Amino acid sequence: MTPTLAGRIQTRLLLLSTIGLAWVVLVAALLGGSASPSYTDRLRAGVAALIITMLLGVVWELVYHAAQQYRWEKDWPTGLALAVGLTEGTAVWFALNTAARRSTLVPSMTVPMFVVVFGTTWLLIWLFASGPMRVVALRWRYRGGRLL
Amino acid sequence: MSTVRTSQKSMLDQLLIQDKWKRDDLLDLGIRVIDAPLVTVGGGLGSFALADHLRVAGVPASEIVVLGPCSDPSDTYRRLASNSQIPDNERLRSDSGSTIDNIWGFPSYALREAWHDRSLTPLMKVATEPILTEYFTPRAGQVYAGVDRECDRIGWSSMFHKGWVRTIRPDRDGGYFVLFTVEKGLAVDGRRQIERIAFRCRTVHVAVGYPGLALLPDLASFRKRYPDHSHRVSNAYEPHDHVYDELSHRSSTIVIRGSGIVASRVLQRLLDDRRTLGTNTRIVHLFRHYVDGPQGDSPRFRRQGGGGFAYQPFNFPKAAWSGQLREHLEGLESSERADLINRMGGTNTAPRKAWQRQLAEAREAGVYLQRIGRVTDIEPTGSGLRIVLDPSDGGSAIVEANHIVDATGLLAEMTQHRLLADLLTHCGAGQNSKGRLDVDPDFEVRGTRSGEGKMYASGAMTLGGHYAGVDSFLGLQYAALRITDQMSNDGLCRALSPGRNASGWTRWALGRPPRNRRAA
């Protein structure tokens, strides 16, 4: 799939709010332990990370789209879509920590927990977008990721 | 007997000059009329892609009629690929997700190759392409095997009828008659026996591939003037193994014309033969237009180029198939589309490092020479050819060679194809700015509607329309999807909904035939 700007944003929002959310609900339960925060706090922190990834992501997509304009293919290589998880993850981590410091609604997360939650969610979404997404949304790949 | 035949021929000739037919016209001529909801003409990969989509949408095989000269839909593609030096074990110029045998593009060819070979290499290639590695491209044999499997699954053989279609006419009552000629063997008197059958359908799809191949005019003229020496001038898409055979037996010089992907393949074959068979072949690569650097003034629209070649991984930038360039092209007018298609496409080849290295080594060894100029004359000599150039590189005006291979991929005009010419003359079809069949964004042939009947077309002959990559696996699938969606809108089949796709894909994965579901 070669994304358009609208396709990038729509795909990001859809996949984070469906597969991403389902995975965070599950992984928050799997990460339990005596020293961990409660399940509710883990879930709230995970959902907060998802929301930040969506909001910051809209800005990131503008940057990626601008960079794409300098490629003859006007495409976005699959590996790059995975690799930018590192920069995005770092940005989300700082934004999440800032939010946790300023609001009691957002619980904090340890670095290992964040790496697991964000990393696995990112990987899962990347894998889904690289294949199975085409099955349920046949026209998605032709429309540059646009769903509407 | 002869008088009857002459009279029938005369009646048929009378019928062929009419723009619309009636059922009785055909019955009066003794032509059997068979009703079918949909007929797809061509029987190649374009027909296959549409039949595959319709079958997944639930259309029973009994409601699809496929007409063409070859029972295997890959046959023509395979022959052209093989002639242009892509045998089954070589890789095509197509990406991993362009799975012609699977309408969803999943699992990709890379995933299947990884599974088959129990190797992570294809997946690593896809994950790192094109930055750390070159694009993954599937082996030709893998593609053909997939098509064979899908043919079995969707019941291709029950849909297919072998023969020729040279005429389509609108039915006065709406829909179309497709006049089909079947060879019935030889009569006692040695005459070829044929049977004509007219399929009457509401929807007709035309996917006959290239209108035809053409030689460069100077080469065509040489063949005409010197038929005894015509074997020295070959089109790369025609069988030309005799050239390689001769080169393997004696020191020779060969001239290559063209700088696209086919030229690259022929050069690879010649240089591989030098290495593996020890041939002593000298190559003169003749360019008409020499690409000496990147193409394009804008940093946002600049293609790699140099050393004579324009480089891009596929025929068009990837976004022409599914990204922003597809959307942009769809909104343009005919002449603007032709201009953009020319700028995105044109003559280009894949930037494969192995080829570039091979050419650099051959150039260094003095066995690969590039020349720039226009051919003004070709004359036969004792054992070869004397080519007269109007050189623009300051070199000699004379090139002596044993063979010339035309790898320009020049196509014949649409009007030289009997069926396509007939569509222009009698069915109201028109030509776009690229001289090909004028289709709308849903691949309906403009000007050919007949009552409720619609005519669609896909493949190479629709280049210049609203989609650039029509002559590719993904392009054929895109056209098939647009046509299926239109047929669904017209109530002729079920929609390819998410649920239908999920169950259809599961059946594909299990190797089960699609489930038949008639239109609601």
Q: Does B317 touch chain A (CB under 8 A)?
A: yes
- pLDDT tens-place string over residues B335-381: 999 999 999 999 999 999 999 999 999 999 999 999 999 999 999 99
- Give per-residue pLDDT as tens, B250-296: 999 999 999 999 999 999 999 999 999 999 999 999 999 999 999 99
Res B185: pLDDT = 81
Question: Which of B324, B343, B494 would you mutate first to test chain A, the one with the most A CBs within 10 A?
Answer: B324
Q: What is the pLDDT of residues B211-238, one digit of tens each?
A: 888 899 999 999 999 999 999 999 999 9
Chain B environment of A139 (Cβ under 8 Å) = 481
Whether B313 and A69 lie within 8 Å, measured CB to CB:
no
| pLDDT exceeds cutoff 60 at A34 | no
Decide if B324 and A142 are in contact by the 8 Å CB cutoff: no
Cβ contacts of B102 on chain A, cutoff 8 Å: none
Average per-residue pLDDT in chain B?
A: 95
The answer to whether residue A148 neighbours chain B at the CB level (below 8 Å) is: no
Percent of chain B with pLDDT over 70: 99
Closest CA–CA distance from residue B365 to any residue of chain A (Å): 33
Q: Quick one: pLDDT at residue B5?
A: 64
Find where tokens 């690929």 sit.
B81
A119 interface with B at CB cutoff 8 Å = no
- Give B75's contacts (C-beta < 8 A, 6+ positions apart): B44
Question: Which residues, other chains included, contact B146 with Cβ-Cβ below 8 Å and sequence gap of 6+?
Answer: B99, B100, B101, B102, B112
Which 8-state DSSP code applies to residue A48?
H
What angle do the packed helices B45-56 and B140-154 form, to 10 degrees?
A: 50
pLDDT (0 to 100) of residue A105: 87
> Residue B352: what are its φ and ψ, rounded to 5°?
-90, 125
Verify whether the Cβ–Cβ distance A77 to B324 is below 8 Å.
no
Q: Which residues pair with B387 in a beta bridge?
A: B378, B399
Helices vs strands, H then E, count in chain A: 6, 0
Domain boundaries of chain B, sorted by first residue: 217-292+348-406
Cis peptide, bond prior to residue B107, ω within 30 of zero: yes
**Per-residue pLDDT for B2 more than 90?**
no
Nearest to A116 by CA among A33, A57, A6: A33
Q: Does A91 touch chain B (CB under 8 A)?
A: no
At residue B388, does pLDDT exceed 60?
yes
* pLDDT in the model for residue B413: 87
**Is residue B184 very low, low, confident or very high in pLDDT (cuts 50, 70, 90)?**
confident
Task: Say whether residue B303 is in contact with chain A using an 8 A CB cutoff.
Answer: yes
The answer on pLDDT for B186 being more than 90 is no
pLDDT in tens, B429-463: 999 999 999 999 999 999 999 999 999 999 999 99
pLDDT reading at B246 higher than 80: yes
pLDDT at B52 over 80: yes
Can you tell me which residue has the tokens 């029972």? B71
The number of C-beta contacts closer than 8 angstroms across A and B is 92
Beta bridge partners, B198, equal B33, B179
What ipTM, to 2 d.p.? 0.93
A contacts of B106 (beta carbons < 8 Å): 131-132, 134-135
The answer for B58, left when phi > 0, alpha when psi is -120 to 50, beta otherwise, is left
Residue B180, pLDDT above cutoff 70: yes
- Specify the pairing of strand B368-380 against strand B385-391: antiparallel
- Report d(CA B232, CA B402) in Å as an integer: 7
**CA distances from residue B311 to B1, B221, B308, B355, B356 in whole angstroms, order as listed:** 62, 31, 10, 12, 11
| Contact by Cβ (8 Å): B369, B285 | yes
Q: Tell me the per-residue pLDDT of A137-146, one tens digit each, with 9 for 90 and over.
A: 999 999 999 9
Query: Is B317 in Cβ contact with A72 (below 8 Å)?
Result: yes
Q: How many of the other CB atoms lie within 10 Å of CB of B244? A: 19
Residue in A134, A140, A146, A148 to test binding to B, most B beta-carbons within 10 Å = A134
What pLDDT, on the 0 to 100 scale, is given for residue B20?
96
Q: Are the C-beta atoms of residues B198 and B204 closer than 8 Å to each other? A: no
Q: Give B207→chain A minimum CA distance, Å.
A: 21
Top residue of B95, B318, B472, B482 to mutate, by most chain A CBs within 10 Å, is: B318
Q: For residues A97 and A108, what is the distance between their CA atoms, to the nearest angstrom?
A: 6
Would the CB atoms of B106 and A70 count as touching at under 8 Å?
A: no
- Provide the residue type at B46 as one letter: G
Whether A138 has its CB under 8 Å from any CB of chain B: the answer is: yes
Residues A1 and B322: beta-carbon distance below 8 Å: yes
Query: What does the pLDDT average to over B87-114?
Result: 97
Is B322 in contact with A77 (Cβ distance < 8 A)? no
Tell me the helices (H) and strands (E) count for chain B, helix number first. 18, 18
Give me the pLDDT at residue A35, please: 60
Percent of chain B's residues with pLDDT above 90: 90
Q: CATH for B217-292+348-406, among 3.30.1490.20, 3.50.50.60, 3.40.50.1220, 3.60.21.10?
A: 3.50.50.60
Residues 6+ apart with CB under 8 A from B246: B252, B402, B403
Contact A143, A9 (CB under 8 A): no
Q: How far apart are the first and last CA of chain B?
A: 51
Q: B61 by DSSP, 3-state: which? A: helix
Q: How far is B464 from chain A (nearest CA, A)?
A: 18
**What's the CA gap between A145 and B377, in Å, rounded?**
53
Q: How far is CA B338 from CA B260, B439, B442, B447, B504, in A?
A: 19, 13, 18, 20, 37
Contact between chains at A78 and B327 (C-beta distance less than 8 A): no
* Stronger pLDDT, B417 or A32, i.e. the higher one: B417
On whether the CB atoms of residues B453 and B170 are closer than 8 A, the answer is yes
Q: What's the pLDDT score for residue B41?
A: 98
**Segment 343-402 of chain B within 8 Å of chain A by CB:** none
- Angstrom distance (rounded) from CA A139 to CA B226: 53
Using the Cβ of A77 and the Cβ atoms of chain B, whether some distance falls under 8 Å is answered with yes
- Spans of all domains in chain A: 5-136
Q: Which residues of B touch A138 (CB under 8 A)?
A: 103-104, 481, 496, 498, 501
Q: Alpha-carbon distance A140 to B13, whole Å? A: 49
